[in-house]
A and B are shown apart, each in its own frame.
Chain A
Amino acid sequence: MIPISDFILRLGWWLLLAPLLPGIINKVKAWVAGRRGPPVLQLYHDLAKLWRKGVVLSTLASPGFVIAPAVAWAALAGAALLTPLGPLGGCLSFRGDVLLLIYLLALARFCTAWAAMETGSAFEGMGAAREVSYAVLTEAAIIAAVLSLSVQTSSVTLVTMLSPSAGAGAALLAAGLFTVLLAENCRVPFDDPNTHLELTMIHEAMILDHSGPPLAAILHGASLKLLLFSVLLVQAVLPMGQLSPPAAAGALAAGVLIVTVGVGLVESLLARLAFRRVPLLLTTAFLLCVFALLVAWKEGAK
């Protein structure tokens, strides 16, 4: 069995490194715009500040208003623990763990939407409705991507599914999963994390009424999700199993950095899409993953 120290160490790494990614994205955006920008460690300071603050509770809200962000954060941390880390392998690995990963992500989304609707504010309900309706399309793309990896390796365990590269479908899968990453983490072509207009917000509208430690849990969970998706994307595309352990670790770190800088560049160079155009882009991402599945299936049939 896994030693308990390894378990704690790994969780510590995930939790500690996650808030770095939004900092890097903001730095890239500032660099492209010619500003100095906030320091890379800004989110750590924000989280520490929020943790010390008190919570403002609406008289309408049930205890779910505080519980749901905690459950969402725990689900995302659990999903992070399931994710294998290149040469280190998975911490908790068993047959079918990929299904648990998908359901943990869905649970986290459900809890954020639940907490958003607790205060009875119209804006938050609108944000939750948008988040959930985009999620219907991104989840289809994720399931197609998981199927293509699983058909290619004929396995349902994350460690074996992610160790070879996705072959000829790798480019399709990379494009599809990158779009899904942008949509799932509420990044620019779908949502603007810096917007101050409630009518156009998605994720930001959902967390308007949260404050103090629950808000810190939501923000940290969002950064954890971003790190999780970039780690999954890099491992799905790169042939992790064929590299030596130090090279694989280096490739993973470099890949995550490239994905993060890519998100920052997309955010600086693109404008967000009109709401009616979003389903078209998400359908394209879904089709890219379906064609990757088709390629994997064809290669398997030969």
Chain B
Amino acid sequence: MSGSLNLLIGLVIGLNLLALGSSRLPALIRAMSLQGVVLGMTPLLMEYERLDWRLVLVALATMAGKGLLIPSLLRRAMRAANIEREIEPFIGFVPSLLLGAGGTIAALALARALPLLPEHTGTLLVPGAIASMFTGFILLIGRAKAISQVCGYLILENGIYLFGLLLIHSTPLLVESGILLDVTVGVFIIGIIVDRIQRAFDTLDTRKLTTLRE
């Protein structure tokens, strides 16, 4: 069980690096949505002996929300704002890849030093969560386009979700679904804002937003 769980989280870490290295927006959105689907499968794999309907519901909702709904909202925002597909990085692709890999290795070392419960020590849950959050931060800081920053925020949220899986038994369904709803509504609103930014400034480059206009 721990082996297949680690394989899934290894996939999540690989998708982090793919998101850091991808130079086009659709590829970034695809990596992020695939990561959401993989994360949705994780609780099913963790608790496959003690499955109950609430867990299955949360897993299905996560997969549908992060894998289908949010990416389609982002793609629609991209189409509506009619933006270029190239990502403009502040931090280049090679440096951000190396940073992400360094962060992943640091997360592995850090998780070894943390006092974890014995059932969590063998798994990659904690390092995977920290690495995803770090990747999200790099994308938030290092990309100029608003949509790629949204993807960074969503990868950051994926990391927090992975961290929350440690408490899978004590988190009520309401909290899980509330977070998922928040994220979806957030992306929905960001889609509208992106459209407005595009109309007002003729660009989605967030560097231009620092200058005041009448």
- Give a binary string over B106-135; 1 marks a CB under 8 Å from any A CB, 0 the rest: 001000000000000000000000000000
Q: Which one of A45-53, A260-268, A280-288 is at the B interface?
A: A280-288
Pairwise interchain contact A287-B105, C-beta atoms closer than 8 A: no
Contact among B23, B97, B105, B108 for A284, CB-based, below 8 A: B97
Interface of chain B: mostly helix, strand, loop or mixed: helix
| Interface residue tally on A, bucketed by range | 10 to 19
- Whether a CB of chain A sits under 8 angstroms from the CB of B179 is no
Provide the main secondary structure of the chain A interface: helix
Closest to B3 in A: A168
Interface residues in B55-104 (C-beta closer than 8 Å to A) = 93-94, 97-98, 101
Please pick, from B94, B105, B108, the residue contacting A279 in the complex, using a CB distance under 8 A: B94
**Nearest CB in chain B: distance from A11 CB, A:** 40
A21 within 8 A of B: no
On whether the beta carbons of A280 and B94 are closer than 8 Å, the reply is yes
Q: In whole angstroms, how far apart are the Cα atoms of A291 and B21 in the complex? A: 16
State A251–B198 Cα separation when bound (angstroms): 58
Interface size on B, residues (CB 8 A): 10
A294 at the interface (CB under 8 A from B): yes
Q: A280-B93, A280-B94 are in contact. Are A290 and B21 (CB under 8 A)?
A: no
User: Which residues from chain B contact A290 at a C-beta distance below 8 Å?
Assistant: 101, 105
**A294 and B97 within 8 A (CB):** no
B97 pairs with A280, CB closer than 8 A? yes
B143 CB to closest chain A CB (Å) equals 15
Chain A residue numbers with a CB within 8 Å of B17 are 284, 287
Q: Which residue of B lies closest to A281 (CB)?
A: B21
Q: How far is the CA of A190 from the CA of B197 in the complex (A)?
A: 39
> Whole-angstrom distance between the alpha carbons of A284 and B98 in the complex?
9
Q: Is the CB of A287 within 8 A of B108?
A: no
- Tell me the complex Cα distance, A296–B208, Å: 47
Bound form: Cα–Cα A291–B104 in Å: 10
Known: A287-B101, A290-B105, A294-B108. 13 other contacts (CB 8 A): A277-B23, A279-B94, A280-B93, A280-B97, A283-B94, A283-B97, A283-B98, A284-B97, A287-B17, A287-B97, A287-B98, A291-B101, A298-B108
Query: Chain A interface (Cβ within 8 Å of chain B)?
Result: 277, 279-280, 283-284, 287, 290-291, 294, 298
For this complex, 12 residue pairs linking A to B, each with C-beta atoms less than 8 Å apart, are A277-B23, A279-B94, A280-B93, A280-B94, A283-B97, A283-B98, A284-B17, A284-B21, A287-B17, A287-B97, A287-B101, A294-B108
